[in-house]
Amino acid sequence: MAELVYDKTGRLLFTQEMKKEYTILFPTMLPVHFGLMARIIETEGYKVEMLTTNHRNIVDEGLKYVHNDTCYPALLVIGQLIDAVKSGKYDPHKVALLITQTGGGCRASNYIHLLRKALVKAGLEYVPVISLNLSGLEHNPGFKLGLGTLRKAVFAMMYGDIIVQTANQVRPYEVNPGQTDETIRTIEDHLLSEMSAGKGLSFKSMVANFDHIIAAFKAIPVAGEPKVRVGVVGEIYIKYSPLGNNNLEQFLLSEGAEPVVPGLTDFIIFKIYNREVDVNIYGGKWVKKKACQVLKGYVEKCQRAMIAAMKKGGFRAPGTFEDLRQLIKGYLGEGNKMGEGWLLTAEMLELIHSGTPNIVCTQPFGCLPNHIVGKGMIRKLKDDYPYSNIVAIDYDPGATKINQENRIKLMLANARGLAKQEAEKQQHAQEQEAVHA
Amino acid sequence: MSLRIGIDIGSTTVKVVVLDEQNKLLFRSYERHYSKARERAAETLRSIQDKLAGQQVRMVITGSAGLGVAKTADIDFVQEVYATAAAVNQYIPDTDAVIELGGEDAKIIFFGGALEERMNGSCAGGTGAFIDQMATLMNVTVTELDALSLKHEKIYPIASRCGVFAKSDIQPILNQGGRKEDVAASIFQAVVDQTVAGLTQGRELKGKIVFLGGPLHFLMGLRQRFIETLKLDSEHAIFPEDGDCFAGIGAALCASDYGEQLFDDVLDRLERSVDNVGLVDTMPPLFENKADYEAFTARHNAMHPPAVDIHTYTGDAWLGIDAGSTTTKMALITADGGLLYTYYHSNLGNPVAIVLEQLREIYQMCGDRITIRGAAVTGYGEELIKNAFNCDAGLVETVAHYKAAAHFNPDVDFIIDIGGQDMKCFKIRNGAVDSIMLNEACSSGCGSFIETFAKALGYSIADFAKLGLFARHPVNLGSRCTVFMNSSVKQAQKDGASVEDISAGLSISIVKNAVYKVIRAANADDLGQHIVVQGGTFHNDAVLRAFELELGRNVTRPTIAGIMGAFGAALFARDLHREKSTILTAEDLKTFSHTAKPTTCNLCTNHCSLTVNTFDGGRRFVSGNRCSRPLGKAKVENPDLMVYKYKKLRALEGKGSGNGVRGKMGIPFGLNMYENLPFWFEFFTRLNFEVVLSPESSRKLYLKGQHTIPSDTVCYPAKLLHGHVEALVDEGVDAIWYPCMSYNNDEGIGDNHYNCPVVAYYPELLAANVPALKQVKYLDPYVGLWRHKDFGKRIAQLMEEEFSIPKRETERAVKAAYEAYDAYVHDVRETGKKYIEYAREHHMPIIVACGRPYHIDPEINHGINDLITSFGFVLVTEDALSYLKGYAPRKVLNQWTFQSRMYNAARYVCTQPDMQVVQLVSFGCGTDAITTDELRDILEKGGKLYTQLKIDDISNLGAVTIRVRSLMAAMEARDSRQ
């Protein structure tokens, strides 16, 4: 059995030995993206498991071990991990927990610390916690991901984005229920078998895979009138995680709407770009700036290829990061970087510009950055785009689904009303034209 | 065209409407459904069956609780705001806005241009249910409340955000003798403020406004408050005849878009849909069977004090009075704690009258046989009762409860008291009170919550509680605040939960709230081995059982759980060993009189709401004051660094060392300006600007900017900024300087040096939401002060672009500004040192107020500093001590400059025997969710007490006083132990 080793600050390390014996558990946020990531880490010789649990005890464990005024995602993520460790499914002495760490000015940078505090409180202080970050924080002798893995991770993110964003355009219209999700599984298997065979890791083969993915979705038979499109933006965990947003996408589908959920790529580029912006605004080393520019350039190149593939296949494609950067001018400065920062407002603008003015802006109750970039910008958006139809929904352990759904229904009723008005106006205009002709 | 039926199922009522082809109202009903919404609707339809049977109709359901019913019965559903808009468009077409209040919803709909609709968020309780709760609290019906409000003379400020806050504001007013009429009107005003502030979100309410919904239909006092607040005349304030069921009418109108069906079929579906419900989230029952329950009651009933017959006993007695928030409790005991007489009753908003009546009764029963040798008072109304009846002593509740608990279980190591309004928990270490935990303003959903609910569902509290004992599937209602629980119950009702299951669920959720939210315990061992529970709420067996189950261990509940405070006070009176009590005699009571007059103190900016109580013989007692000035005495001026800093910062306006020729530079006096102002003042005056500060914060200034606040859950210090910038625009400044700052100064004591997101980016929020800022040059660039050289270069560039100032000039100003800031910091530290020396010379204890720089604003701290120093403390702030400790790793990411100072100050306090920390926390401050636990950890490890004061737009000085006095009592206990 692996010995417990600590560093000089007293942090429990994940050792080489643990790599052999331990199962690494991590919480879900984006099931497709994270699922791919899990399989990639597995090929590096780790035992990993993405938690897909979704039941009441997760919230209860969170309430028990995390300060209740802390944001809801912290409560859920920590609750989910502790619930899993205590579930009896694993030997608590043979598991480690993996959690991402960003390091910004938002409370979210504290998740890993709150998790450690919670473990102590739960009497599980012997469970090592691994930080997954891009800032070089917290090294662990037994957990090292090389540059190759990093590249695979970028690929997994790109694949995840193109899969999710394309599938969202097919699912509401599929003739055979369940076929879209079936296709996703087939694609995942294909991608992973390629990766484990060491193939598909060049830019060229990624582009080829994009086309393969698009073709697979195009092959799904669809039917029906276009549905009301509803954009989903917000705090990143709540926006994506079905556990966090009470299955929001499922609800929108059941209400006859087509959910439009902007991808993860922009967020990653945003986080890289922030470092560059810091140097621009406050000063700093140009080397740091240069390194960020190189990494950002690579991800942007991938993004452009993804957009091209979607367009070629006849799907609606998102804008580039650069497009978003242009849209935000006059709203927020680029220095607004905590949490989702200016990106959240830019995403709302992009949705409005691309014909999806109906938007659900999700956030944990009391989310600090979203006071500014979410709720704080809706007024101005409404002034500038009177037909924009945005509803802000708060999520927390006490907020009930019925309240949330009722508010979303109001937004949907409004959306349909606006669509009807628009149609009548157009019809009227046409009639007028006919009269004049 | 056929008849159209609209059914509006709200949280508390069902409205049924039938319209004919010409949109004429044929039938309407408005009925409470007592959580049996579907049955009620079906019954109403059944009652008009003779008119509709056999006809083709179009039917639509609407309303917040209607969704589930519509789904299971397969009837079309329309969102209620949408339905309301349809009705208004039809009947009152030139409407500009609709304000609709329902049982639990508040809505505003803006017409004109595109339809804009707003509903209350999940944290907004200013609604019908809130009014119901307040009426219960005052022990009147809603109709009586309305009648009372029409006779008001003054309006008290009452927190309007949520019912829980309001309760803690109202209680002290009532207990201190405020007039019921005034409180009633103040409650309605709170609803108005909540609606206007929470829902307009930057859009002005003007033109013709239609008022809808039950409360606005029935309550004239509420109407009056709206009309006065919005300054409307009769042509612009419309109260339609059927305003209580407009959503139903709208639903009927919307039905035109849906298909026809046979009335009998729809009714049949509605009636049958009952069987299709299933519970989602349930928990195990409280008791499996009757035998379990009997064993349980037998165990608890064994804990009782000896009863002595007051009619035969001869000898000495001691009286304890607990003037609690909702109830008054009294106990008359013998020397060995035997009970002669007890009393427990709702104080009906007037504790003086209750005590008077009881005292008379006690004197009568005592006759000449029994002599009262001492009387002590505790509780919210302590001062009032003590002064009214000349009692011997007053004591803080925590001490009273410990005295009583120790009487039953000398080994007690944990006490939890859940009363009507508040929850108190504390540990006992080495025979003294330690680690006091009071419920935060947000989680006060205590005993009175169940009571309100029971009444709303048509039960007495005792019957309602009993229902839950044997419920098979208690509903899981979560563990957050009252308002949230209301909607959880709504959800459960929708899902078809029985009243039994809801009753049990409520009891369990109260316990969970106590254990996880207030005590924040992970398991039973966190509490203690010998737990004593008390407070009226624990008389409820369901709550008691839930508590034992949750902890997994048995606890002690004395049979007199409800009067433990009074019992403890009586024991305290006994231990005073007085020869004779000073309490008014039976003879004195004959001429006793009491009048209470509300007034506002205008001696300083705190504007305390005072109540002047006058008793017979000209005795007077003033309550509600923070300092001694309204009592005609000189204010106690103990050294107070908050006051010192505030005065110093406020002086930073004008032309300084420059000549002011470049114009007026406005600076909003809020948030991080409390830290950075010395820098900017020097910077701009050196550049020959005249610095204009926004006025001092006040409630009035807050209300001025309130209409542009987009997020009602942001902290009060941030909300105040809206008024500040508007005031600057009014003053005609040439520009406003309010830069964005992701980072603050790096003091080398944290892992990073961020500002919190709100402090960092609020300037951009103001730019997007305050229309007045378009009239002025509003500068909100990103700046980073910690890199001196880089900052100099960048700001020089900016000043050149904006004001054509030569770069050299700006660079010189930057240098001077850094020096000025350093001088300010140095001065604060030196003054802090001086104050500490003063305290030590005079043997005074020192309180270190840990908060943010902006907590020195009297409008934000509500004069808490005055209160603290009036108890004989010297007060210094965290920034006067934080530099005395270096960097140390923390268990949380220590990444905010202001917060790092608190950790360091707390570490320093741990090394000083005469210092204690009081942490100031603004409601809604997200970063403090992290700092509070960490700070508590630092202090408790260092052998110090942790005291937290939560503050918001309204102050609750009563709660603050309890905490400060509990802290003092604990400090005394520690001192006497050493």
How many angstroms separate the CA atoms of B965 and B971, rounded? 10
A223, pLDDT greater than 60: yes
Q: Which pLDDT tens digit goes with each residue over B779-797?
A: 999 999 999 999 999 999 9
Across the interface, of A331, A396, A407, the residue whose CB is closest to B768 is A331
Across the interface, of A107, A387, A417, the residue whose CB is closest to B926 is A107
Q: Which helix (H) or strand (E) holds B28?
A: strand B25-32
How many angstroms separate the CA atoms of B271 and B264, rounded? 10
B441, pLDDT greater than 90: no
How many angstroms separate the CA atoms of A277 and A288, rounded? 11
Angle at B467 between CA B462 and CA B472, to 5 degrees: 155
Tell me whether residues A371 and B479 touch, CB distance under 8 A: no
Contact A333, B891 (CB under 8 A): no
Alpha helix segments (H runs only) across B740-861: 757-769, 788-803, 807-841, 858-861
Residue found under tokens 């949490």: A339
On average, the pLDDT of chain B sits at 87
pLDDT of residue A10: 86
To the nearest whole angstrom, how far is the Cα of B365 from the nearest Cα of chain A?
51
Judging by beta carbons within 10 Å of its beta carbon (0-12, 13-18, 19+), is residue B340 exposed, middle or buried? buried
Report the SS3 class of residue B31: strand
pLDDT of residue B680: 98
Across the interface, of B80, B82, B933, the residue whose CB is closest to A67 is B933
Q: Please state, in angstroms and as integers, the Cα–Cα distance from residue B744 to each residue in A277, B279, B809, B826, following that order.
A: 17, 51, 24, 18
Secondary structure (DSSP) of B894-910:
--BHHHHHHHHHHHHHT
To the nearest whole angstrom, how far is the Cα of B329 from the nearest Cα of chain A?
33
B122, pLDDT greater than 60: no
Q: Which residue of B has its CA nearest to A71?
A: B926
pLDDT of residue B161: 58
Q: Which residue of A has its CA nearest to B713?
A: A366
Q: For residue B24, how many other CB atoms are within 10 A of its CB?
A: 8
B86, pLDDT greater than 50: yes
Tell me whether residues B793 and A110 touch, CB distance under 8 A: no
Q: Which pLDDT tens digit goes with each residue over B932-963?
A: 889 989 998 998 888 888 887 766 666 677 77
List, edge to edge, every strand of the sheet that includes B116-119: B116-119, B106-110, B97-101, B209-212, B237-238
Contact A126, A93 (CB under 8 A): yes
B113 chain-A contacts, CB cut-off 8 A: 386
A337 chain-B contacts, CB cut-off 8 A: 742
How many angstroms separate the CA atoms of B487 and B492, rounded? 9
Across the interface, of B116, B484, B710, the residue whose CB is closest to A398 is B484
| Over residues B239-261, mean pLDDT | 91
Q: Would you call A371 an interface residue with chain B, using a CB distance cutoff of 8 Å?
A: yes
| Over residues A9-20, mean pLDDT | 91
Is pLDDT larger for residue B135 or for residue B635? B135
Which of A296-310, B373-387, B524-538, B917-931 reaches the highest mean pLDDT? Answer: A296-310
Across the interface, of B116, B711, B754, the residue whose CB is closest to A375 is B711
B596, pLDDT greater than 90: no
> 168-197 in A: which are within 8 Å (CB) of B?
none
Report the SS3 class of residue B428: strand
Q: How many residues does chain B have?
A: 978
pLDDT band at B124 (very low <50, low <70, confident <90, very high): very low
Across the interface, of A103, A379, A402, the residue whose CB is closest to B710 is A379
pLDDT of residue B163: 59
Residue found under tokens 């859009």: B203
Q: Which residue of A has its CA nearest to B712?
A: A371
pLDDT band at B466 (very low <50, low <70, confident <90, very high): confident
What residues contact residue B567 under an 8 Å CB cut-off, 6+ apart? B305, B320, B331, B333, B337, B339, B404, B407, B560
How many angstroms separate the CA atoms of B564 and B560, rounded? 6
Across the interface, of B740, B757, B895, the residue whose CB is closest to A368 is B757
Ramachandran category for residue B201: left, alpha or beta (phi over 0 → left; psi -120 to 50 → alpha): left
Tell me whether residues B757 and A339 touch, CB distance under 8 A: yes
pLDDT of residue B348: 67
Across the interface, of B487, B711, B718, the residue whose CB is closest to A403 is B487
> 314-343 in A: which are within 8 Å (CB) of B?
331-333, 335-339
pLDDT of residue A257: 96
A338 chain-B contacts, CB cut-off 8 A: 742, 754, 757, 760-761
pLDDT of residue B165: 62
Tally DSSP H helices, then E strands, for chain B: 35, 31
pLDDT of residue B443: 44
B755 chain-A contacts, CB cut-off 8 A: 105
Q: Which residue of B has its CA nearest to A397?
A: B478
How many angstroms separate the CA atoms of B165 and B159, rounded? 6
Buried b / exposed e along B304-336 (16+ C-beta atoms within 10 A): ebeebebeebeeebbbbbbbbbbbbbbbbbbee
B768 chain-A contacts, CB cut-off 8 A: 331, 376-377, 379-380
B482 chain-A contacts, CB cut-off 8 A: none
What is the ipTM for the molecules in this complex?
0.93
Angle at A43 between CA A41 and CA A47, to 5 degrees: 65
B288, pLDDT greater than 50: yes
Q: Which pLDDT tens digit goes with each residue over A77-101?
A: 999 999 999 999 999 999 999 998 8
pLDDT of residue B202: 67
pLDDT of residue B824: 97
Task: List the structure tokens of B205.
Answer: 């309410």
Tell me whether residues B893 and A414 touch, CB distance under 8 A: no
Contact B99, B44 (CB under 8 A): no
Residue found under tokens 């229904």: A409
pLDDT of residue B175: 65
First to last CA, chain A: 88
Angle at A204 between CA A201 and CA A206, to 5 degrees: 55
Across the interface, of B114, B202, B933, the residue whose CB is closest to A386 is B114
Q: Which pLDDT tens digit goes with each residue over B729-739?
A: 999 999 999 99
| Over residues B388-402, mean pLDDT | 91
pLDDT of residue B512: 81
B117 chain-A contacts, CB cut-off 8 A: 410, 414
To the nearest whole angstrom, how far is the Cα of B522 from the nearest Cα of chain A?
6
How many angstroms separate the CA atoms of B169 and B185, rounded? 14
Across the interface, of A109, A406, A412, the residue whose CB is closest to B67 is A406
pLDDT of residue B274: 63
Task: List the structure tokens of B278.
Answer: 């299933």
Tell me whether residues B714 and A371 touch, CB distance under 8 A: yes
B79 chain-A contacts, CB cut-off 8 A: 406, 409-410, 412-413
To the nearest whole angstrom, how far is the Cα of B111 from the nearest Cα of chain A?
13
Contact B394, B387 (CB under 8 A): no
Task: List the structure tokens of B627.
Answer: 């300092």
Q: Please state, in angstroms and as integers, the Cα–Cα distance from residue B300 to each residue in B303, B509, B538, B560, following that order.
A: 6, 22, 11, 11
| Over residues B275-291, mean pLDDT | 74
B484, pLDDT greater than 60: no
Mutate to test the interface with B, among A57, A66, A403, A414 (most CBs of B within 10 A): A403
Contact B428, B422 (CB under 8 A): no
A135 chain-B contacts, CB cut-off 8 A: none
pLDDT of residue B442: 46
| Structural Rg of chain B based on CA atoms | 30
| Over residues B206-213, mean pLDDT | 91
Task: List the structure tokens of A343.
Answer: 């990106």
Tell me whether residues B757 and A69 touch, CB distance under 8 A: no
Is pLDDT larger for residue A419 or for residue A315? A315
What residues contact residue A212 under an 8 Å CB cut-off, 6+ apart? A187, A190
Q: Which helix (H) or strand (E) holds B427?
A: strand B423-429
| Over residues B151-177, mean pLDDT | 72
Q: Which pLDDT tens digit goes with each residue over A357-392?
A: 999 999 998 889 999 999 999 989 988 998 899 999
Q: Would you call A281 an interface residue with chain B, using a CB distance cutoff of 8 Å?
A: yes
Amino acid type, B168: S
Contact B473, B285 (CB under 8 A): yes
Q: Would you call A135 an interface residue with chain B, using a CB distance cutoff of 8 Å?
A: no
pLDDT of residue B307: 85
Strand partners, B917: B848, B946
Q: Which pLDDT tens digit goes with each residue over B861-877?
A: 988 998 899 889 999 99
Amino acid type, A320: T
pLDDT band at B349 (very low <50, low <70, confident <90, very high): low
B597, pLDDT greater than 50: yes
Pairing, β B423-429 against β B414-418: antiparallel
B167, pLDDT greater than 80: no
What residues contact residue B574 under an 8 Å CB cut-off, 6+ apart? B318, B333, B335, B373, B374
Tell me whether residues B485 and A405 touch, CB distance under 8 A: no
List, edge to edge, every strand of the sheet that includes B735-737: B690-693, B664-667, B735-737, B777-779
Tally DSSP H helices, then E strands, for chain A: 17, 8
Tell me whether residues B757 and A282 touch, CB distance under 8 A: no
To the nearest whole angstrom, how far is the Cα of B101 from the nearest Cα of chain A?
16
B481 chain-A contacts, CB cut-off 8 A: 398
List, edge to edge, every strand of the sheet that includes B339-346: B339-346, B327-333, B315-323, B370-378, B393-394
